[in-house]
Amino acid sequence: MEGIKETKEALLFGISLAMAIDESTQDGFQWTDILNLIPTLSKFPAALANIEKVPAELNDLDETERLELAQEIEKLDFKSDSSEKIAEQSLRITLEIGKLITIIRENRL
């Protein structure tokens, strides 16, 4: 069993990014709304640190881990219908960036 630590970090990053964007666009996006994104973006390196482990964690998900991830998502109060889509896409992007970083790490001279 792999556990879900890395998956959870990537998921929570994607969700927190979605929520920050959601909050920032409530009254139309202003340049000052970028400040809402800084705390979330500062979590990006931690979300990527061991991102290469996420696929194995996802392939090894058991029902308890699935429930744990679902409960994390249910705790959140999205402000708009698009927030969930943003969270899903953020997770996908985080995973793809992780794949790119893994390739770069493997090909260092």
What is the pTM for the complete model shown?
A: 0.67
Instruction: Tokens for 67, please give them.
Output: 């429930």
Residue 89 has pLDDT above 80, yes or no: no
Q: pLDDT: is 16 or 2 the higher one?
A: 16
CA angle, residues 100, 101, 107, in degrees to nearest 5: 95
- Please give the share of the chain, as a percent, with pLDDT higher than 90: 0
Instruction: Tokens for 38, please give them.
Output: 């800084």
Domain ranges of the chain: 5-106
pLDDT band at 4 (very low <50, low <70, confident <90, very high): confident
Span 16-48, pLDDT tens digits: 877 787 777 777 777 877 887 888 888 888 888
How far apart CA 67 and CA 7 sit, in angstroms, is: 13
Residue 109 has pLDDT above 60, yes or no: no
Tell me the CB-side half-sphere exposure of residue 39, using CA atoms within 13 A. 10
* Cβ pair 10, 91 in contact under 8 A: yes
Span 7-16, pLDDT tens digits: 888 888 877 8
Residues 71-94 have a mean pLDDT of 71
